[in-house]
């Protein structure tokens, strides 16, 4: 699975070309150099090419990585870069040796247009070739073009180091449900000054989305219908987008790169910046192509072979730790929501009542009428109010419109009148939420059990399950979103009487349980799309039906306990269904989750389903899970598929789960 042969890839989300710095480099150059460019002394260049061929440099791993060559689905070595301007040779996307020859010819070409010379556009290739052919006399004849935009790019970055940043999971956006990754270029700190993180730069890889239709978006993302490019923006834009707009935590992993490796990474970021790749949501995504950038820097950095075929952002973070000493330190930047909750938890009971009174019916009089014990308490209250408004309507606040924005204006005026510095943030780093400690995303399960049917002997059963990704409610939730479920490609088979039958296949299954909060009454929701074995064929036999089930309702929690009520609609199409090929039903699910710890969890569910043409179905199940390692778990389940059936049928099963 980790072998390169299986890597048909995809890209991750959102387009921004490399800002004004890089956009200037994308003009005018011909797509291919069809023959060696004219040089003053071709024998000099040819001698360099001969030396490169003698050293077999075009066959090396680094050259292959600089050109982003990987085996495709047909076992052929091809570049994943699709932009013709990335290559100097007509065959550069599949002939590494010809591209190296054409690259060397181009480096010695005449300087015709400022910033358009090959030396300005492909500094990483040049730097690597010079290091491998060090001392060759041909380098003395290398042109010296003025690379203004490239120099500005490096000066603006002013890089001291680079961090790999993970933006936490965001289930409300399908493109970000698995999290997101990007680089933060950490600026050098001027003498006598403190670190100003917001002045750093963020570099990300994203899709150029061309539709707002969710179905077309999903199909294009799955089938490679989008292009993807790298983008460079000031880091405060990333903080605003993820930390504030979406209330997502940011985990930064500073990379342990030496000066030469750091320089080469920046050079390579520059040279791939204007060029596009194909976008695939699950494979060649934001995380995968951040890893390929790092692999082009040094032979010691091997990352893409440490992640599965489908690259989950959290898996890409864990891959960093597979390279000895590659992570220098880990930093945490809490989300806006955490900032607000920190202040809320410091409010007195009376301050909480006053806060609710203000935000549920704001008037100037409501705010000015509140009495505080001292000026420090008032400052804390107003700071919390500002955070809450930013969290409730980030778009309106950014656009300077809407009732929340006007409320914030008034609160800011009140805060300016309070001559007290805000208390320092005292948010503890949630070590158990670090994405690098999460369980592996793939899972295989084996088990056995029995079915008790009225009037029949016990039936022995075997179970085989396989899940591509990623997490369910009962899994160990270290480093993962609590009380949420996000599964993709989940197969469940049952072995009975020498037959192995597909019981269900979930293409994707999402469950987001949002506990009701007075200040944030988000509904809970879920969707399950796939195939399910249902007892709807002649004689009550089971047969497969494809379709979906959509949930929407509310959840509540207290301590380690959580309950929910989720009404749902259910549709399946089955060519072998007895009464009608279309099965439609409405119903509700009642659930209870007890998390004794991250290790032991208990889940109970009851559902009532009322179909249009079939009898009402009541189902119940109880599942106990023991996660005794991050990659191993044991599970016991009791279930009754139809409490209303005159023929009682109960199934008990024991499963062993292995995560990899």
141/158 same-domain check: no
User: For residue 514, what pLDDT is reported?
Assistant: 93
Q: Which residues contact 134 (CB under 8 A, 6 or more apart)?
A: none
User: For residue 457, what pLDDT is reported?
Assistant: 79
What integer is the mean pLDDT of 446-467? Answer: 91
Alpha carbon distance 413, 405 (integer Å): 13
pLDDT at 153 over 80: yes
Residue 8 region by backbone torsions, left for phi larger than 0, else alpha for psi between -120 and 50, else beta = beta
User: For residue 30, what pLDDT is reported?
Assistant: 36
pLDDT at 392 over 60: yes
Burial class (CB within 10 angstroms; exposed 0-12, middle 13-18, buried 19+) of 27 = exposed
CA-CA-CA-CA torsion sign (57, 59, 60, 66): positive
Q: Which helix (H) or strand (E) holds 415?
A: helix 403-416
Which of the pair, 379 or 519, is modelled with greater confidence? Answer: 379
241/131 same-domain check: no
In a domain, 16, yes or no: no
Q: Which residues contact 12 (CB under 8 A, 6 or more apart)?
A: 175, 180, 205, 206, 207, 228, 279, 281, 285, 286, 287, 288, 289
pLDDT at 1 over 60: no
User: For residue 275, what pLDDT is reported?
Assistant: 98
Which of the pair, 350 or 16, is modelled with greater confidence? Answer: 350
Which of the pair, 174 or 49, is modelled with greater confidence? Answer: 49
The lowest-confidence range among 70-84, 555-569, 617-631, 635-649 is: 635-649
Q: Which residues contact 654 (CB under 8 A, 6 or more apart)?
A: 447, 448, 449, 634, 635, 636
pLDDT tens, 275-321?
Answer: 999 999 989 999 999 999 999 999 999 999 999 888 999 999 999 99
In a domain, 430, yes or no: no
404/345 same-domain check: yes
> What are the Cα distances from residue 89, in Å, to 98, 178, 305?
6, 38, 28
Q: Which residues contact 598 (CB under 8 A, 6 or more apart)?
A: 432, 476, 477, 478, 627
373/493 same-domain check: no
Q: Which residues contact 459 (CB under 8 A, 6 or more apart)?
A: 450, 451, 452, 453, 496
Q: Which helix (H) or strand (E) holds 326?
A: none
The lowest-confidence range among 62-71, 299-308, 353-362, 626-635 is: 353-362
pLDDT at 373 over 50: yes
Of 111, 145, 179, the one marking the end of a domain is 145
Alpha carbon distance 389, 383 (integer Å): 10
pLDDT tens, 187-227?
Answer: 998 877 878 899 999 999 999 999 988 889 889 998 999 99
pLDDT tens, 224-269?
Answer: 999 999 999 999 999 999 999 999 999 999 999 999 999 999 999 9
Cα angle value 446/452/458 (rounded, 5°): 80
Query: 88-121 burial, b if ≥16 CB within 10 A, otherwise e?
Result: bbbebbbbbbbbbbbbbbbbbbeeeeebbbbbbb
54/94 same-domain check: yes
User: For residue 630, what pLDDT is reported?
Assistant: 87
Query: 436-472 burial, b if ≥16 CB within 10 A, otherwise e?
Result: bbbbbbbbebebebebeeeeeeeeebebbbebbbbbb
Which of the pair, 622 or 368, is modelled with greater confidence? Answer: 622
**% of residues, the chain, pLDDT over 90:** 78
463/603 same-domain check: yes
In a domain, 432, yes or no: no
Of 333, 352, 382, the one marking the end of a domain is 333
In a domain, 428, yes or no: no
In a domain, 384, yes or no: yes
pLDDT band at 29 (very low <50, low <70, confident <90, very high): very low
pLDDT at 644 over 80: yes
pLDDT at 18 over 80: no
What's the domain count of the chain? 4
Burial class (CB within 10 angstroms; exposed 0-12, middle 13-18, buried 19+) of 377 = middle
Question: Of 133, 115, 97, which is closest to residue 29 (Cα–Cα)?
Answer: 115
Strand order through the sheet with 327-333: 277-279, 226-234, 201-207, 180-187, 159-167, 250-255, 327-333
Q: Which DSSP letter does residue 309 get?
A: S
Q: Which domain holds residue 475?
A: 438-659
In a domain, 41, yes or no: yes
165/222 same-domain check: yes
- Backbone φ, ψ for residue 389 (5° rounding): -65, -45
pTM listed for this prediction: 0.88
In a domain, 424, yes or no: no
> What are the Cα distances from residue 279, in Å, to 8, 28, 82, 285, 510?
10, 25, 11, 7, 23
Alpha carbon distance 148, 619 (integer Å): 69
What integer is the mean pLDDT of 623-639? Answer: 96
122/216 same-domain check: no
In a domain, 359, yes or no: yes
pLDDT band at 38 (very low <50, low <70, confident <90, very high): low
User: For residue 39, what pLDDT is reported?
Assistant: 66
Q: Three-state DSSP class for 520?
A: coil
Q: Which DSSP letter does residue 510 get?
A: E
176/64 same-domain check: no
136/179 same-domain check: no
pLDDT at 6 over 90: no
Alpha carbon distance 345, 380 (integer Å): 11
Question: Of 160, 164, 185, 159, which is closest to residue 330 (Cα–Cα)?
Answer: 164
Please state, rounded to an integer, the average pLDDT across all residues of the chain: 90
361/504 same-domain check: no
Cis preceding-peptide flag for 346 (omega within 30 of 0):
no
Alpha carbon distance 374, 381 (integer Å): 11
pLDDT band at 172 (very low <50, low <70, confident <90, very high): low
Of 416, 450, 477, the one marking the end of a domain is 416
What integer is the mean pLDDT of 115-137? Answer: 96
513/403 same-domain check: no
The residue with tokens 């870069």 is 81
Q: Which residues contact 373 (CB under 8 A, 6 or more apart)?
A: none
Alpha carbon distance 380, 39 (integer Å): 69
pLDDT band at 31 (very low <50, low <70, confident <90, very high): very low
């Amino acid at each position: 699975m980790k072998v390169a042969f299986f890597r048909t890839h995809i890209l991750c989300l959102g387009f921004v070309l490399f800002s004004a710095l890089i956009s200037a480099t994308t003009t005018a150059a011909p797509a291919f150099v069809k023959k060696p460019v004219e040089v003053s002394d071709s024998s000099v260049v040819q001698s360099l090419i001969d030396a490169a061929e003698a050293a077999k440099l075009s066959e090396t791993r680094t050259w292959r990585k600089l050109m982003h060559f990987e085996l495709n689905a047909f076992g052929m070595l091809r570049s994943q870069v699709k932009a013709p301007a990335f290559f100097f040779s007509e065959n550069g996307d599949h002939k590494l040796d010809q591209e190296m020859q054409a690259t060397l010819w181009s480096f010695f070409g005449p300087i015709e247009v400022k910033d358009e010379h090959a030396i300005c556009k492909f500094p990483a290739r040049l730097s690597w070739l010079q290091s491998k052919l060090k001392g060759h006399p041909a380098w003395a004849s290398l042109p010296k073009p003025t690379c203004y935009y490239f120099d500005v790019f490096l000066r603006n970055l002013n890089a001291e180091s680079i961090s790999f940043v993970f933006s936490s999971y965001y289930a409300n956006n399908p493109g970000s449900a698995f999290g997101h990754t990007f680089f933060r270029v950490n600026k050098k700190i001027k003498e006598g000054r403190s670190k100003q993180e917001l002045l750093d730069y963020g570099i990300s890889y994203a899709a150029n989305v061309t539709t707002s239709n969710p179905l077309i978006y999903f199909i294009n993302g799955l089938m490679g219908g989008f292009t993807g490019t790298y983008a460079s923006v000031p880091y405060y834009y990333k903080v605003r987008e993820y930390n504030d707009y979406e209330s997502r935590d940011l985990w930064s992993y500073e990379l342990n790169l030496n000066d030469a490796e750091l320089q080469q990474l920046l050079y390579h970021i520059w040279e791939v910046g204007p060029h596009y790749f194909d976008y695939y949501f699950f494979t060649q995504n934001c995380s995968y192509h951040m890893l390929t950038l790092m692999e082009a820097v040094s032979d010691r950095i091997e990352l893409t072979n440490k992640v599965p075929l489908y690259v989950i952002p959290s898996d890409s973070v864990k891959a960093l730790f597979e390279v000895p000493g590659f992570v220098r330190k880990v930093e945490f930047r809490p989300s806006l929501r955490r900032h607000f909750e920190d202040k809320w938890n410091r409010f007195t009971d009376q301050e909480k009542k006053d806060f609710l009174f203000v935000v549920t019916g704001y008037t100037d009089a409501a705010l000015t009428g509140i009495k505080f014990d001292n000026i420090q308490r008032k400052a804390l209250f107003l700071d919390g109010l500002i955070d809450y408004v930013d969290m409730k309507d980030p778009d309106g606040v950014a656009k300077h419109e809407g009732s929340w924005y006007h409320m914030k204006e008034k609160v800011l005026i009140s805060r300016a009148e309070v001559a007290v510095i805000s208390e320092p943030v005292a948010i503890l780093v949630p070590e158990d939420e670090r994405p690098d400690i999460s369980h592996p995303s793939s899972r295989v399960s084996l088990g056995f059990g029995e079915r008790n049917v009225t009037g029949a002997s016990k039936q022995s059963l075997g179970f085989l399950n396989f899940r591509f990704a990623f997490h369910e409610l009962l899994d160990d939730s270290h480093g993962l979103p609590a009380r949420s479920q996000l599964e993709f490609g989940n197969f469940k088979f049952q072995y009975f009487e020498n037959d192995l039958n597909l019981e269900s296949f979930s293409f994707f299954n999402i469950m987001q349980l949002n506990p009701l909060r007075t200040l944030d009454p988000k509904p809970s929701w879920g969707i399950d799309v796939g195939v399910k074995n249902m007892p709807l064929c002649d004689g009550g036999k089971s047969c497969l039906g494809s379709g979906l089930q959509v949930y929407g309702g509310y959840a509540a929690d207290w301590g380690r306990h959580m309950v929910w009520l989720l009404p749902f609609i259910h549709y399946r199409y089955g060519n072998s269904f007895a009464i009608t090929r279309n099965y439609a039903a409405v119903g509700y699910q009642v659930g209870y989750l007890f998390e004794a710890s991250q290790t032991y969890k208990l889940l109970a569910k009851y559902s009532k389903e009322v179909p249009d043409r079939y009898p009402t179905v009541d189902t119940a199940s109880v599942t106990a899970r023991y996660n005794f390692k991050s990659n191993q778990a044991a599970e016991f389940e009791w279930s009754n598929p139809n409490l209303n059936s005159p023929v009682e049928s109960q199934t008990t099963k024991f499963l062993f789960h292995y995560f990899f």
